[in-house]
Copies of this chain bind each other. A is one copy, B any other.
Amino acid sequence: MSHPLLMKLKQAMPLSSDEEAAIRLALGHWKVIPSRQHIACEGDRPKKTTVLLDGLMYRYVTMADGRRQILSFIVPGDFCDLSAVVEGWMDHAISTLGACTVAVIEHDSLDRLINSSHAIRTALWRDTLREAAIHRVWVSNLGRRSAYERLAHLFCEIAVRLDAVGMKRTCGYDFMATQTDIGDAVGLSAVHVNRMLQQLRCQNLITYNGNTFAIPDWERLAEIAGFSAEYLRIEPCDDVPVSIPPSAQLV
């Protein structure tokens, strides 16, 4: 597997081959986590950090009365809990959507890595800035877009982020979220998500069966979503054009 974390970090910051090797080494140990598993809870003080290699997770919080809000999705190449490395604790929970492959690193070992290399340090700092940028876009999505637009935007984001780490499948993108999950991500009820998805489907803007989605008409979907990918900090690379992501080729 070409390493999704390295793919991403190298887009944020050039790394020497030594640095790359050090990261590969630290990430040597990996394991598989089943679907729908909690991997962290609010308030946890983890001693290890987790990098997602394959699959999908989400960050979320639950309010006193049970309302849930999904804060963001974690795609391959993302740290699940980098914040806990720097701050020591988690302020939100994390679960897997489907089965996931992860690499696990001791905090100590990551600390050494961080202190040993300016480039790695900067790459990771940039990664947390990128995460903040994603949050900001979600704020504007939730605050100022209609249900229809919000859903369009969510699918655009996931598609581009999965593309950026080479996670496009031939049939589209793996995305094992229920409509309830999607609702909790975009601040809507599951019922309304259902209706809006139908609308997107009949406009032939997305296909989605609960496991996999595809974007038959990227241009139009992005237009509706008001989506522009710069906030994802994805440099145009080899086979992945940014302005017109390859999802367009899925038709």
**Quick check: B142 and A143 within 8 Å, CB to CB?**
yes
**Quick check: B71 and A139 within 8 Å, CB to CB?**
yes
List, in ascending order, chain B residues with CB within 8 A of A63's CB.
140, 144, 226
Q: Which of A86, A125, A126 has the most chain B CB atoms inside 10 A of its CB?
A: A125
Shortest distance between the CB of A131 and any CB in chain B (Å): 6
CA distance A72 to B132 in the complex (A): 12
Tell me whether chain A's interface is mostly helix, strand or loop, or mixed. Answer: helix
**Quick check: A143 and B69 within 8 Å, CB to CB?**
yes
CA distance A249 to B185 in the complex (A): 38
**Quick check: B187 and A143 within 8 Å, CB to CB?**
yes
Q: Is A135 an interface residue (CB 8 A)?
A: yes
List, in ascending order, chain B residues with CB within 8 A of A69's CB.
139-140, 143-144
**Count of identical protomers in the assembly:** 2
Given contacts A143-B69, A186-B143, A226-B63, contact A83 B129 (CB under 8 A): yes
**Quick check: A139 and B140 within 8 Å, CB to CB?**
no
Of the candidate stretches A24-32, A114-122, A206-214, the one touching chain B is: A114-122
List, in ascending order, chain B residues with CB within 8 A of A10's CB.
none
**Quick check: A135 and B129 within 8 Å, CB to CB?**
no
Contact flags A122-142 to B (C-beta < 8 A → 1, else 0): 100110110111011011101
Known: A87-B126, A135-B136. 15 other contacts (CB 8 A): A59-B136, A63-B226, A68-B144, A69-B144, A71-B139, A71-B140, A72-B136, A83-B132, A92-B136, A128-B128, A128-B132, A132-B135, A139-B139, A139-B142, A143-B185
